[in-house]
């Protein structure tokens, strides 16, 4: 198993990166979230997942362990392959996807291209319990405005904070204030905490 790859980006596309290390260029498939995270970087270290098929060895790359773990959870679901998992991860940020699964939000999962009602139900049934156990800080999506959450997290990421840290603190602030808080207040409180 290849745990990570560290090297120079010699080619980039929203669906993959070419990373050169040790004189070898590796084709690494990525999600749009990972692409956004490395958009301005020349050198990168990506956590990887190697998928070995009869006809190919495919390398998938992730900037965050939480995204790689969610990818692995998704491909463990019957009927979801690696390409569908990357498409799902490209459609929602990691915390949104976890929230959708934990809260049983079939409508949000169905809105992802390639995910029908049966697949959405399978994802929820097979992953809901394990995600609840592994993520006690995750707040069900139905309990707060995802617009305020997303705007706050995006603003903090643009200010230079890491997305997982921003998601965690914004979720906590919204939970502590019973969701009755503006985006501006969330950002101010987050800046004091981070």
Calculate what percentage of the chain has a pLDDT beyond 90. Answer: 46
pLDDT, tens digit, for every residue of 150-159? Answer: 788 888 887 8
Pairwise CA distance, residues 157 & 151, whole Å: 10
CATH number corresponding to 144-193? 1.10.8
Q: How many helices (H) and strands (E) does the chain have?
A: 9, 5
Token look-up 């260029």 returns: 25
Question: What pLDDT does residue 141 have?
Answer: 41
pLDDT, tens digit, for every residue of 57-77? Answer: 999 999 999 999 999 999 999
Question: In the structure, what pLDDT confidence band is assigned to residue 139 with cuts at 50, 70 and 90?
Answer: very low
Q: What's the average model confidence in pLDDT over 42-71? A: 94
Half-sphere exposure of 192 (CA within 13 A, CB side): 6
Question: What pLDDT does residue 15 have?
Answer: 93
Pick 126 or 138 by higher pLDDT: 126
Radius of gyration of the CA atoms of the chain, in A: 17
Give the 3-state DSSP-derived string for 126-140, with helices as H, strands as E and coil as C. HHHHHHHHHCCCCCC
Domain ranges of the chain: 4-62, 70-134, 144-193
Half-sphere exposure of 43 (CA within 13 A, CB side): 3
| Whole-Å CA distances, 67 to 12, 34, 178 | 19, 9, 28
Pairwise CA distance, residues 188 & 156, whole Å: 10
pLDDT of residue 4 exceeding 90, the answer is yes
Pick 51 or 138 by higher pLDDT: 51
- 172: closest CA among 149, 188, 142, 147? 149
pLDDT of residue 143 exceeding 50, the answer is no
**pTM of the predicted protein model:** 0.68
Q: Which fold would CATH assign to domain 4-62?
A: OB fold (Dihydrolipoamide Acetyltransferase, E2P) (2.40.50)
Complete DSSP assignment for 121-187: HHHHHHHHHHHHHH-TT---GGGS-HHHHHHHHHHHHHTT--HHHHHHHHHHHHHHTTT---HHHHH
Question: What pLDDT does residue 39 have?
Answer: 85
pLDDT, tens digit, for every residue of 83-131? Answer: 999 999 999 888 889 988 988 888 889 888 889 999 999 999 999 888 8
CA of residue 51 relative to chain centroid, distance: 19
CATH number corresponding to 70-134? 1.10.150.20
């Amino acid at each position: 198993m290849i745990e990570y790859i560290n090297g120079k980006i010699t080619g980039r596309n929203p669906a993959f990166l070419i990373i050169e290390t040790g004189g070898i260029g590796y084709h690494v498939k990525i999600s749009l979230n990972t692409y956004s995270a490395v958009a301005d970087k020349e050198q990168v270290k990506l956590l990887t997942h190697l998928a070995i098929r009869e006809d190919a060895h495919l390398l998938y790359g992730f900037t965050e362990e939480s995204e790689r773990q969610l990818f692995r959870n998704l491909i463990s679901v019957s009927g979801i392959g690696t390409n569908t998992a990357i498409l799902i991860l490209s459609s929602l940020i990691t915390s949104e996807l976890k929230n959708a699964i934990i809260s049983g939000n079939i409508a949000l999962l169905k809105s992802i291209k390639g995910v029908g009602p049966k697949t959405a139900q399978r994802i929820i049934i097979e992953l809901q319990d394990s995600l609840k156990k592994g993520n006690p800080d995750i707040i069900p999506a139905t309990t707060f405005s995802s617009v305020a959450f997303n705007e706050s997290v995006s603003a903090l990421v643009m200010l230079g904070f890491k997305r997982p840290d921003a998601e965690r603190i914004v979720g906590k602030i919204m939970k502590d204030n019973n969701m009755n808080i503006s985006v501006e207040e969330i950002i101010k409180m987050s800046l004091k905490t981070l």
